[in-house]
Amino acid sequence: MTDYGTEVLWVLILASLGLSAIAVVLSLSRRRHNQTPAIAYPGEDVASEAARKVLREFEKNGQSVDAALVTWSPDTLRKILADDLPDAQVIVVSNREPYIHNIKGNGVELLVPASGLVSALEPITRACSGTWIAYGGGTADRLMVDENDRVQVPPGNPSYTLRRVWLTEEEHQGYYLGFANEGLWPLCHIAFTRPVFRASDWEAYEAVNRKFADTVVAEARNERPIVLVQDYHFALLPRMIRERLPEAIIITFWHIPWPNSEVYSICPWRERILEGLLGSSIIGFHTQFHANNFTESVDRFLESRIERADAAISYGGQTTLVHAYPISIEWPAELLAKLPNVDECRARLRDRFGLSPDVKLCVGVERLDYTKGILDRFQALEELFTKRPEWIGKLAFLQIAAPSRGTLPAYKQLHDECHRYAKKINQRFGSEGYKPIIMVAEHHSQEQVYEIYRAADICMVTSLHDGMNLVAKEFVSARDDEQGVLLLSTFAGASRELLEALIVNPYDAAMMSEALQQALTMTPEEQRERMRPMREMVRNNNVYRWAGSMLLDAARLRKRGDLDRVTGTSERSPSNANNVISMFERMRKAAS
């Protein structure tokens, strides 16, 4: 072939390749264009499963694509109630009350318990002007209520009603100390403490749940309240309320972990508890892992229909949503305005405990409970002093351990072990004027706790198993100076959100001692780089977002129930107020 012929051939080949490339590009462009409606309108048959999954994730927990852009505050909650749940009455039910009145001397002392549940729910109830129903256990509680067992709170600025329920000593012993805390608590926490189940405790638990159901019905202004049932003390309550207020929206939040179905099978009344909880319109957990465990337990022990894509369980003609709602705290914390700056908090705390200015202060703040890993952090401290003796005399650990359930054998044993171990470390590494461990086994107000957070160089949260653990978030909230280091257990739900903390395995003393070394030597710049994103996370995902997500889901259920009644579909649904339909089905119907 001549050179001219060769050139012509190459031109034809290149032209052919070019035309093929253009055709491919045009084809891909048309395909993208044709696929756009599949994402925008998932009801069409060409919608991809990936797009469906993403949108379902947005639907879960009341989230939307732009949820992060919302500034969540008490005003946000009030707006949700006004716009989406007009005239709705909000009733909170918990074992622990937000305000306790005790007799002190010749007067009455007001105690605000330093409780994660109270710190999360109290600002919500204020914002909603709701009613809080709780066990009245204070020595002066009966003196402070009216003839209907109600008291307006907070004192000095009343914004909601506290309705107290009275229990006999036998009821409290069986329901609270017995079934709830010797049975369900160790069952749900992987802390290697054997659950104790007694028939008499179960009977007391059932009777107290019934008593609280009676109180909810008595306090309801109409047949459609929104009832927020809190925690493992009231597993039977949702079903009891549902039987008498079938149109109520009942949101049950389980504040502790839910075990896998094999562990859960230990409980002799496992089916009754599941049936009770499935009286809820919505059941919330801190993490998706715990929500999945609950669903698996239902799947194993009850005849039910589980819609995993929509996170819903149908049982007995009623559908219950099972969602993850990570709990959080108030932002900004109102009490921070009452506290002095960090330097003054530090000076006051060091003066109180006789610590010199050059001593690093590490703190732990919680109830004295075997799930909190207090002994494990003592082991880590001993490991640090053994491997790095230069810290002896330069580091003090302040353990605030509020007494809890002290009549139960497991808690008595823990109390004795903690004091023995602290004494052992102090004798081994302490000296005149220096105690490595300062153990304070007494209750502190929330204001006192925040002062301790602000004074600390390090905060240790070493839960062996925890739903969330709000101490971690409170520490972050308290540090407006953007200093301080958080050591956080990987087994606490907060570790899924506070990613810039030093994440540790509390069962590994050597690992924790190295994390302590890292925290003690961390520069102020690195502390700031870690603290800023954690503070941003707590600010954006505050307690008002937690509550707002559940209230928005409640509003969707209520609107769906109202729509069913109007369209007549309620005749085909025995529990129309709690029926669930997926986002995609709704979008298909809207598009048709």
**Structural domains of the chain, ranges and CATH numbers in brackets:** 66-328+545-554 (3.40.50.2000), 334-540 (3.40.50.2000)
Query: Per mean pLDDT, which range of 70-79, 114-123, 315-324, 572-581 is the poorest?
Result: 572-581
Q: DSSP character for 88?
A: P
Between 566 and 519, whose confidence is greater? Answer: 519
- Looking at residue 13, its pLDDT comes to 54
Query: pLDDT at residue 519 above 70?
Result: yes
Beta bridge partners of 262: none
Q: What is the pLDDT of residue 22?
A: 53
Q: Cβ-count burial of 380 within 10 angstroms (0-12 exposed, 13-18 middle, 19+ buried)?
A: buried
Q: Are 502 and 518 in contact (CB under 8 A)?
A: yes
Percentage of residues of the chain with pLDDT beyond 90: 69
- Given a cut of 90, whether residue 153 has pLDDT beyond it is yes
**Tens-place pLDDT, residues 165-217:** 999 999 999 999 999 999 999 999 988 899 999 999 999 999 999 999 999 99
Dihedral of CA 359/364/369/370: which sign? negative
Q: How confident is the model at residue 14 (pLDDT cuts 50, 70, 90)?
A: low
Q: Is the pLDDT of residue 254 over 50?
A: yes
Distance CA 302, CA 262 (A): 14
Contacts of 527 (CB under 8 A, 6+ apart): 482, 483, 484, 485
pLDDT at 234 over 50: yes
Q: Which range (40-49, 368-377, 495-504, 549-558) has the least confidence? A: 40-49
* Residue with the larger pLDDT of the pair 71 and 470: 470
Q: What is the pLDDT at residue 12?
A: 54
**Residue 181 near residue 195 (C-beta atoms within 8 A):** no
Q: State the pLDDT at residue 332.
A: 85
CB under 8 A, 24+ apart: contacts of 270-275? 270/297, 270/301, 271/301, 271/302, 272/236, 273/235, 273/236, 274/298, 274/301, 274/302, 275/239, 275/302, 275/315, 275/316
Residue 456 Rama label (left phi>0; alpha psi -120 to 50; beta): beta
Residues in the chain: 592
DSSP 199-211: HHHHHHHHHHHHH
Check residue 359 and report its DSSP letter.
S
Nearest to 211 by CA among 266, 156, 174: 174
pLDDT of residue 59: 43
